[in-house]
Amino acid sequence: MSELNEYQLQRRQKLDQLRAMGIDPYPADMWETNTNSTEILNGFNVEENNFQNVMIAGRIMSLQPKGKVCFMKIQDAVGRLQLYVGRDNICPDEDKTLFDNMVLHLLDIGDFIGVKGEVFITKTGETTLRVKEIKFLAKALNPLPIVKEKDGEIFDAFTDPEMRYRMRYVDLIVNPHVRETFIKRTKVVQSLRNTFNNNGYIEVETPILQAIHGGAAARPFATHHNALDMPLFLRIANELYLKRLIVGGFEGVYEFAKNFRNEGMDRTHNPEFTGLEIYVAYKDYNWMMDYTEIMIENVANDVNGTTDVKVGDQIINFARPYKRITMFDAIKEHTGIDISKMDEAGIREVCKSLNIHVDASMGKGKLIDEIFGAKCEKHCIQPTFITDYPIEMSPLTKKHRSVEGLVERFELFVNGKEIANAYSELNDPIDQRERFEHQLQLAGRGDDEAMPLDEDFLRALEYGMPPTAGLGVGIDRLVMLMTNQAAIQEVLFFPQMRPEAAQSKG
């Protein structure tokens, strides 16, 4: 442990004094609450004289001792409440030692206490709990970076992003708006679950440790299983396992999956992220586009109570229907160049003319993806489906039913970022094998994101998979949109960070 500073030493001394008084600073017995701060603030009625036998608990966020009384504010899971702690109320007999020692000298901001009492309105009109009994629940040994206000302005706030992400537990204590972001995150997931469950789809779980890192184009994290003496990978996607379940007879399955990709980190990428994938038999990508609109519209209403959501400087309208445009048409719209009939060499020249950096490892699909990413994505502000991708970009997607060289795929872009990806799933095992073999060729050219060949998945397809629509949604990015956050780190409780530099933690 690093050297303690003055404030930490003082708190440890108070810890010792509490124990010397016979007060356990970390008692094992429960404190049964019967209400919370929000219920009291919203429900107290002077005429009804309700809330007269309150038991509540929380963290002390302010202390104002004034002689024989002390005003405090405690924070519970839903808000803050003022307490009035009078010496004669909690020490009705002649011995006032408990009040003088514990309340005036040994309590600190950050400590947890349980209190019993009755609610009243102060002369200044603030709903307050008159404390009749107080119990120590946990001593805080580190002082909080309490946010200070003066003349309506906040200063000395806990706002440094690195400190906030590294010490999210402190961030949640002193920045109440952060808690609201994560409450909304829960609502996003719950809304999606409700939509799926109402259709009779089954939530499932699939392996995180996988022998083959399939289902997406990405670099995996590798590990080793000692007992089996074999390499394993943290999954980059759960797609191939979910489609095995469709083969097995389920007609609708979905999973909220923790995925891992050994790639760069920025404001929209974290190496560990949450993906939703859903697969529905006897459907295609056109049906899935309609269903995606329903899902996202439901999320906006359930989380924000409206389909108009503020995102940065934009108001995004999530009401159906959404714009639909093919990838080639989007590229032509924003570059003036029709690449739909070009071969790899021609597209490489287009990249050069547009000053888009490419390298020799990139095949035709990667080149097209680079053009779209550089010239088109930023223009997709309102929800936009980009459809009908080149076959080279989509090794798990069914060939387009009417256009040679394309596949039945869409991605949903909002505010310039992709948040969903969907296919009419490829269920022809012979075609799928050829696509995997093409991926192996790309890997041989140096593409370390190329997809490996999965023999067991091919075997599953050979038993027959019905026509199926599949969809993947980036939950973290969807939450960013619904909570108006510009960085993925703001919607992850504990984002990945570099190791903390060795220093005093005072």
Q: Residue 373: inside a domain, yes or no?
A: no
Tell whether 457 is covered by a domain: yes
The rounded distance, in Å, linking the Cα atoms of 415 and 481 is 8
Domain shared by 396 and 302, yes or no? yes
Per-residue pLDDT of the chain (506 residues; tens, 9 = 90+): 568 999 999 999 999 999 999 999 999 999 999 999 999 999 999 999 899 999 999 999 999 998 889 999 999 999 999 999 998 888 777 667 778 888 888 999 999 999 999 999 999 999 999 999 999 999 999 999 876 666 656 555 788 999 999 999 999 999 989 999 999 999 999 999 999 999 999 999 999 999 988 888 788 999 999 999 999 999 999 999 999 999 999 999 999 999 999 998 999 899 999 999 999 999 999 999 999 999 999 999 999 999 999 999 999 999 999 999 999 999 999 999 999 999 999 999 999 999 999 998 888 988 999 999 999 999 999 999 999 998 888 888 999 999 999 999 999 999 999 999 999 999 999 999 998 888 888 777 777 667 788 999 999 999 999 999 999 999 999 999 999 999 999 999 999 999 987 554 44
Query: 277-302 burial, b for 16+ CB within 10 Å, e for fewer?
Result: bbbbbebbbeebbebbbebbbbbbeb
49 and 182 in a common domain: no
Helix axes 475-483, 176-198, angle to 10 degrees: 120
The domain boundary residue, chosen from 129, 144, 159: 144
Q: How many domains does the structure of the chain reveal?
A: 2
Answer with the one of 144, 160, 193 that is the final residue of a domain: 144
279 shares its domain with 390: yes
d(CA 109, CA 71): 12
Q: What is the rounded distance in angstroms from the CA atom of residue 193 to the CA atom of residue 173?
A: 29
Considering the domain boundaries, does residue 499 fall inside one?
A: no
Same domain, 140 and 197: no
Residue 217: the pLDDT is 78
Other beta carbons less than 10 A from residue 37's beta carbon? 21
Residue 151's pLDDT is 66
CATH number of domain containing 450: 3.30.930.10
Strand partners for 153: 150
Buried b (16+ CB within 10 A) or exposed e, 464-476: ebeebbbbbbbbb
Tell me if 254 is assigned to some domain. yes
Cα-Cα-Cα-Cα torsion 253, 258, 262, 267, nearest 10 degrees, comes to 110
The secondary structure of 251-275, three-state, reads CEEEEEEEEECCCCCECCECCEEEE
Considering the domain boundaries, does residue 154 fall inside one? no
Domain with residue 79: its CATH number is 2.40.50.140
Do 119 and 201 have their domain in common? no
Q: Kindly state whether residues 130 and 192 are assigned to the same domain.
A: no
Element (H, E) at 432: helix 429-444
Q: What are the structure tokens assigned to 140, written together?
A: 């805080």
- Note the pLDDT of residue 94: 66
pLDDT of residue 504: 46
List of residues 6+ apart from 445 with CB closer than 8 A: 360, 361, 363
The answer to whether 256 and 487 are in contact (CB under 8 A) is: no
The secondary element (H helix, E strand) that includes residue 420 is strand 417-424
Asked whether residue 159 is domain-assigned, the answer is no
Statement to judge: residues 106 and 210 lie in one domain: no
303, 419: one domain: yes
Would you say 469 and 422 are in contact if contact means Cβ atoms under 8 Å apart? yes
Out of 123, 144, 165, pick the residue that ends a domain.
144
Q: What is the pLDDT of residue 70?
A: 93
Same domain, 449 and 303: yes
Query: If we measure between CA atoms, which residue out of 383, 416, 412 comes closest to residue 312?
Result: 416
Q: Which residues form the domain of 14?
A: 6-144
DSSP codes, 481-503: HHHT-SSGGGG-SS---PPPPS-
Q: Is residue 506 part of a domain?
A: no
Q: Indicate if 135 and 187 belong to the same structural domain.
A: no
Instruction: Assess whether 132 and 207 both reside in one domain.
Output: no
Cβ-based burial of 376 (10 A; exposed 0-12, middle 13-18, buried ≥19): buried
Residues 446 and 388 in one domain: yes
Identify whether 208 is part of a domain.
yes
Residue 505 pLDDT: 47
Cα distance from N-terminal residue to C-terminal residue, the chain: 11
Compute the half-sphere exposure of residue 398: CA atoms within 13 Å on the CB side of its CA.
21
What the block records as the tokens of 298 is 């439901």
